[in-house]
């Protein structure tokens, strides 16, 4: 049996990274316990305020955010923290060498219906050690990430992590409260017949995305010549986990539903960490044209269209968009 501690001892490139990952995953144990208590912990319902993007915050979003923020602020290796729930990054320890970004509770509308939610995290290098970190320090492309992962609080709590050139999964043992390695070197099939999209936004998509979904729905009667199946967890963390387990395509594409939003998902603490996991597991991740990990961010909360998962299917979507743009 290999625990997360054993794994970090063997594979982490340095103790600072191990320490920060241990802090995040320890907080994940607390969040997991709070979620297990559900309504009994008096944590459900709106907290009465809104997050940076103007969405209603659930009480547990706030709690998860505060727990992560407090724990990371005390970690001497962490120079700053950026969260979905906070307008600006929070400086931590100036001598730290790492910056941590997180979505404390992805898919939080699932909380009230007892469905899967998760914590997504990304670790970047800090380039100005000794000075107080600022928002601008976080604006690094996803290809600079030193580590990325998520905690999925589902029927069991699972950690997916990449700190080396492969992706590993751990399960939180409820008896010992340890993360135990359940899968080494996760790999995604390059082909799939399963896809995830919120199809109610169809009329807001661009023509190539509409064409793609039309083709999938036509199934064996259309150009694809085979049937496809839809799955939608309504929490990105759940959909990405399914793809790491059995392949598939997930997309939250560009849409015109809301002005000034290039897509719903956030580049720095949703798309980037998930794209690193997916690529390292042999999949692909694009905004429909460009590799997500190569996008140079201009804002810690910027949004990006996302198409990720099984490589051949992601390439198919990309080709439809590139061909359409060339016309
Ligand atoms: O964080 C945004 C998010 O909750 C994702 O986890 C999820 O994929 C998506 O929004 C769900 O969006 P919709 O409300 O369109 O189903
Ligand atoms: Mn989210």
pLDDT surpassing 90 at residue 55: no
Predicted confidence (pLDDT) at residue 45 exceeds the cutoff of 60? no
pLDDT tens, 163-199? 999 999 999 999 999 999 999 999 999 999 999 999 9
pLDDT of residue 316: 98
Bigger pLDDT: 260 vs 112: 112
Q: Provide the residue ranges of all domains of the chain, joining segments of one domain with +.
A: 4-183, 194-326
pTM as predicted: 0.95
| Residue from 179, 201, 315, 310 nearest 252 by CA | 201
Which among 270, 308, 302 is positioned nearest to 286, based on CA atoms?
A: 308
Q: How far is the CA of 109 from the centre of ligand 2 (A)?
A: 10
CATH of domain 194-326: 3.40.190.80
Residues 280-287, mean pLDDT to the nearest whole number: 98
Which residues have CB under 8 Å from 51's CB, separation 6+?
Answer: 57, 61, 84, 85
Instruction: Give the pLDDT of residue 221.
Output: 98
Fold for domain 4-183?
Answer: Fructose-1,6-Bisphosphatase; Chain A, domain 1 (3.30.540)
The CB of 301 under 6 Å from ligand 1? The reply is no
pLDDT confidence of residue 43: 60
**In this structure, which residue's CA is closest to atom 13 in ligand 1?**
234
Q: Is 71 in the pocket of ligand 1 (CB under 6 A)?
A: no
What does the alpha-carbon distance between residue 223 and residue 91 come to, in Å, rounded to a whole number?
A: 53
What pLDDT is attached to residue 292?
98
Could you tell me where the DSSP H helices lie in the chain? 4-11, 15-37, 59-73, 207-218, 236-246, 272-280, 311-326
> What mean pLDDT value characterizes the chain?
94
Say yes or no to pLDDT of 41 above 90.
Answer: no
104 alpha carbon – ligand 1 mean position (Å):
14
Calculate mean pLDDT across residues 60-88: 97
Q: Does residue 264's CB lie within 6 angstroms of at least one atom of ligand 1?
A: yes
Output the residue whose Cα is nearest ligand 1's atom 11.
234
Determine what percent of the chain is predicted with pLDDT higher than 90: 87
pLDDT at 251 over 70: yes
Ligand 2 centroid – CA 172 distance (Å): 22
- From residue 120, alpha-carbon distances to 191, 292, 308 in Å are 26, 16, 16
């Amino acid at each position: 049996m290999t625990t997360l501690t054993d794994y970090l001892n063997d594979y982490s490139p340095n103790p600072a990274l191990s320490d920060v990952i241990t802090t995040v995953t320890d907080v994940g144990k607390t969040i997991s316990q709070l979620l297990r208590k559900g309504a009994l912990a008096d944590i459900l319902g709106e907290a009465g305020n809104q997050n940076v993007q103007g969405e209603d915050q659930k009480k547990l979003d706030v709690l998860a955010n505060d727990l992560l923020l407090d724990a990371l602020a005390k970690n001497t290796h962490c120079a700053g923290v950026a969260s979905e729930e906070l307008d600006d990054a929070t400086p931590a320890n100036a001598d730290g060498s790492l910056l941590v970004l997180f979505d404390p509770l992805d898919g939080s509308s699932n909380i009230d219906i007892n469905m899967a939610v998760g914590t997504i995290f990304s670790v970047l290098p800090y380039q100005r050690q000794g000075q107080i970190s600022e928002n601008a320090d976080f604006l690094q492309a996803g290809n600079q990430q030193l580590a990325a992962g998520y905690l999925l609080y589902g029927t069991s709590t699972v950690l997916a992590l990449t700190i080396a050139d492969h992706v590993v999964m751990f399960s939180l043992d409820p008896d010992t409260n340890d993360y135990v390695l359940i899968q080494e070197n996760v790999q995604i099939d390059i082909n799939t017949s399963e896809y995830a999209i919120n199809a109610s936004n169809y009329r807001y998509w661009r023509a190539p995305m509409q064409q793609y979904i039309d083709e999938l729905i036509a199934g064996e009667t259309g150009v694809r010549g085979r049937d496809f199946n839809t799955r939608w967890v309504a929490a990105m963390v759940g959909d990405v986990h399914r793809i790491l387990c059995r392949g598939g395509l997930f997309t939250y594409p560009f849409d015109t539903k809301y002005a000034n939003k290039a897509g719903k998902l956030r580049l720095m603490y949703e798309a980037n960490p998930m794209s690193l996991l997916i690529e390292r597991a042999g999949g692909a991740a694009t905004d429909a044209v460009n590799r997500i990990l190569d996008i140079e961010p201009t804002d810690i909360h910027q949004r990006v269209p996302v198409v990720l998962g099984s490589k051949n299917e992601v390439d198919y979507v990309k080709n439809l968009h590139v061909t359409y743009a060339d016309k």
